[in-house]
Amino acid sequence: MRPLPRNLPNVATISTKPSQLRDLLRKTATELLPLYRGLPGFVAFTAAKTGDATAVCFAIWRTREEAEQAAKTSDQWMKEGRGTLIDSLHNSVSALPFLAVTGELAAYSFPAPVVAGRIV
């Protein structure tokens, strides 16, 4: 049996004003996700609305160093203008004891990954 990869999650919990959550999630998908895709070690990323004014972002990275760099990247992204949308933010990097997925997971990717101008 081959050993499991040692992927590490970066989890961010975010609070904002209810009227700004939709805009924050849209900017996360259209601005932060492309930044993450360009970083070494990127495996996966998603964001989920957890309340009227709260969300959780969950990213998976191959190494602790890559996860910590991603946290720095998101902090910089927020300082460049998204900070006004956020009331509070808590970032953490920790171990990922297990991850269960199916082959159907790629169908849920949004926006679709683009390589050399083509959607893959």
Q: How does pLDDT run across 32-57, given as a tens digit for each residue?
A: 899 999 999 998 899 999 999 999 99
Residues 6-27 have a mean pLDDT of 87
Task: Give the whole-number percent of the chain exceeding pLDDT 70.
Answer: 72
Kindly tell me the sign of the dihedral angle through the C-alpha atoms of 83, 88, 94, 99.
negative
- More confident position, 69 or 120: 69
Q: What is the pLDDT of residue 34?
A: 92
Pick the CATH number of 8-119 from 3.90.700.10, 1.10.10.10, 3.50.30.30, 3.30.70.100: 3.30.70.100
| 76-91 per-position pLDDT tens digit | 887 776 657 788 778 8
**Predicted pLDDT at 40:** 93
Return the residue matching tokens 């601005």: 31
Q: Phi-psi region for residue 26, left (φ > 0), alpha (ψ -120 to 50) or beta?
A: alpha
For residue 60, CA distances in Å to 6, 9, 102, 116 come to 10, 4, 16, 24
Q: What is the DSSP letter of 97?
A: -
Residue matched to tokens 């975010």: 14
